[in-house]
Amino acid sequence: MNYLNVIKEKISQYKKDKLSSSNISEKLSQLKQLKIEVLQLQSLPPSKNPPNEEEFLVAREITELEMEMALFNKNEKNFEIAYLKAKPFYFDYSKKIIKSRSEKFYYYLGLYLLYLLSNNKTIEFSTEIELINKNDLNNEFIKVSRELEQCIVEGNYKQLANLKNANDDNFKYFLNKFDDAIRFEIARSAEISYDSLKINDAINLLMLNNRNELNNFVNEQNNRKNEREIDWKLTDERIEFIPLNKEKTTIPSERIIADALLLGIETEKII
């Protein structure tokens, strides 16, 4: 059995049992070994050897296992790192070396796009969209993030509810994360725009389901007093937005005027 077949066998052993909380330690150990094994492949960049498609396929599969592990652990940073490792196999080596597209290409690309949007990385999101073939833009996994971006541009936050009907847990995770970010922005606008809101109006505005969820959200807001200037008070019928008494930074106007005059005098000397 040659070296490449040894790695394939180890991948097969890794995939034999589905990843779960009961075998996470064993899987992490196996994956760590696979990441070491891939370094031994002879034709991967920066090697000057002729490219071997089988080696590239094996390396691509291991990066996909890394993404799977990162998503299972809800480790967004590791997911980003793993996706960027997989990206050359999806784009740079596609067709030139790897003749068959990964069955999970659209899935992981769609998740990465959601990751970028949920972390407000809009420039990177736009860059990734530019790399996608126009024929692929309507793929079900990619379409979600494109519709999501459109909601942001239009400020159509209610439409988000329709996008949250994903069956996949990983998509739900990023959609819920993004939903929380939007709710936070709505909250900031509401507390500036209104002195108070009726309970039902607040529930609808914040895209919550009931009074209990509203209570939890208000508690979260009040736990962030150091970050905000308005307190939320929940009564039987309304939410009241109460400005917090914080020391305001005073601007030393006399000092600024004096400095400006001095600057003018010094400028005239130079001229």
* Residue ranges of domains in the chain: 1-102, 194-271
CA–centroid distance for 259 within its chain: 46
Q: Going by C-beta distance under 8 Å and a sequence separation of 6 or more, which residues neighbour residue 28? A: 69
Instruction: Say if CB 247 and CB 200 are below 8 A apart.
Output: no
- Mean pLDDT for the stretch of residues 54-58: 96
Give the pair of three-digit tokens for residue 175. Answer: 């959609």
pLDDT in tens, 170-225: 998 998 887 777 787 788 888 888 999 999 999 988 888 899 999 999 888 888 76
The C-alpha R_g of the chain, in whole angstroms, comes to 26
CA distance 37 to 49: 18
Spell out the residues 6+ positions from residue 263 whose beta carbon is closer than 8 angstroms to its own: none
How far is C-alpha 82 from the geometric centre of its chain's CA atoms? Answer: 14
pLDDT in tens, 109-158: 999 999 998 888 889 999 999 989 988 999 999 998 888 888 777 776 66
Assign 166 a pLDDT band (cuts: 50, 70, 90). low
Closest CA to 169 of 56, 51, 45, 73: 73
Pairwise CA distance, residues 264 & 271, whole Å = 11
pTM: 0.73
